[in-house]
C-alpha cells in the first residue's frame, strides 16, 4: 500500500521536511540584449495594433475591430506585465545600453501618442453610439405616447389639470388622519 505524498512544508509553521527551502526571489538588475529587443518589438507590435484600430474606427468597421480585440488584449496584458517588472526594478533600464534606452524611449513615446489618439476615437465612437441609441429611444417613446393617451402625454387636452375626463376620473387623497 502506497502512502500519500506529503504536502510541501509551510515556512510559517517551520520547516519539518528534509528538503532545503527555496531560495528567495532575486531582484532583476539587468536584461539580456535579446530581452530588450523583445520588449521593443512588443511595444512596436502593440502600437501597430492600436494604429490598425484607429484606421478601422475611421472606417467604422466594427466587425474587424471585434476580431482585433483578442490580439490587442493579449499584447496589452504582456506589455503591462513587462512594465510591472520594470517599475519594480528601475535599475533594469539604468543598466541598459544608451542606444537601447533611446530606442525604448522613442517607441514608448510613439505608443503613448497612439494610445491617446485611440482613446479619444474610442470615446467619440462610444458617445456617438449613445446619442444614436438615445435618439432611437426618444423616437420610440414619442411614437408610443402619441398612440396611447396617458398622463405623460400633456398634449392631450382631456388629461390637462382641472379638466373633466370621462376616461380618467379625478381621485382625491386625504392627507389628514
Cβ distance 61 to 55 under 8 Å?
A: no
Q: Which of 49-63, 88-102, 137-151 has the highest mean pLDDT?
A: 49-63
* 66-83 average pLDDT score: 93
Band (pLDDT 50/70/90 cuts) for residue 116 is very high
- Residue 136: CA atoms inside 13 Å, Cβ hemisphere, count? 6
Could you give the C-alpha distances from 87 to 27, 28, 93, 146, 171, in angstroms and in order?
A: 12, 11, 9, 61, 69
Calculate the CA 128 to chain-centre distance: 18
- Angstrom distance (rounded) from CA 169 to CA 27: 80
- Angstrom distance (rounded) from CA 87 to CA 100: 17
Band (pLDDT 50/70/90 cuts) for residue 64 is very high
The DSSP letter of residue 170 is: -
Band (pLDDT 50/70/90 cuts) for residue 166 is low
CATH of range 33-121; options 1.20.58, 1.10.3470, 2.40.50, 3.40.120: 1.20.58
Buried b (16+ CB within 10 A) or exposed e, 13-38: eeeeeeeeeeeeeeeeeebeeeebee
Mean pLDDT over each residue of the chain, to the nearest integer: 77
pLDDT for 24 equals 35
N-terminal to C-terminal alpha carbon distance within the chain: 83
pLDDT for 16 equals 42
- Angstrom distance (rounded) from CA 99 to CA 138: 58
The predicted-structure confidence for 76-85, as pLDDT tens digits, reads as follows 999 999 889 8
Band (pLDDT 50/70/90 cuts) for residue 177 is low
* 122-150 average pLDDT score: 83
- Residue 85: CA atoms inside 13 Å, Cβ hemisphere, count? 17
* 160-172 average pLDDT score: 61
Band (pLDDT 50/70/90 cuts) for residue 112 is very high
* 2-8 average pLDDT score: 44
The DSSP letter of residue 166 is: S
Amino acid at each position: 500500500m502506497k502512502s500519500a505524498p506529503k504536502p510541501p512544508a509551510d515556512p510559517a509553521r517551520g520547516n519539518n521536511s528534509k528538503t532545503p527551502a527555496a531560495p528567495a526571489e532575486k531582484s532583476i538588475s539587468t536584461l539580456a540584449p535579446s530581452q530588450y529587443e523583445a520588449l521593443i518589438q512588443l511595444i512596436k507590435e502593440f502600437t501597430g495594433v492600436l494604429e490598425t484600430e484607429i484606421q478601422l474606427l475611421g472606417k467604422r468597421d466594427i466587425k474587424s475591430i471585434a476580431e482585433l480585440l483578442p490580439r490587442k488584449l493579449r499584447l496589452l496584458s504582456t506589455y503591462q506585465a513587462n512594465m510591472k517588472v520594470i517599475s519594480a526594478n528601475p535599475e533594469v533600464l539604468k543598466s541598459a545600453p544608451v542606444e537601447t534606452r533611446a530606442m525604448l524611449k522613442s517607441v514608448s513615446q510613439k505608443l503613448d501618442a497612439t494610445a491617446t489618439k485611440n482613446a479619444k476615437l474610442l470615446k467619440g465612437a462610444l458617445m456617438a453610439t449613445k446619442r444614436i441609441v438615445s435618439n432611437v429611444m426618444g423616437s420610440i417613446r414619442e411614437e408610443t405616447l402619441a398612440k396611447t393617451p396617458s398622463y405623460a402625454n400633456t398634449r392631450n387636452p382631456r388629461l390637462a389639470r382641472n379638466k373633466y375626463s370621462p376616461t380618467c376620473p379625478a381621485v382625491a387623497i386625504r392627507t389628514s388622519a
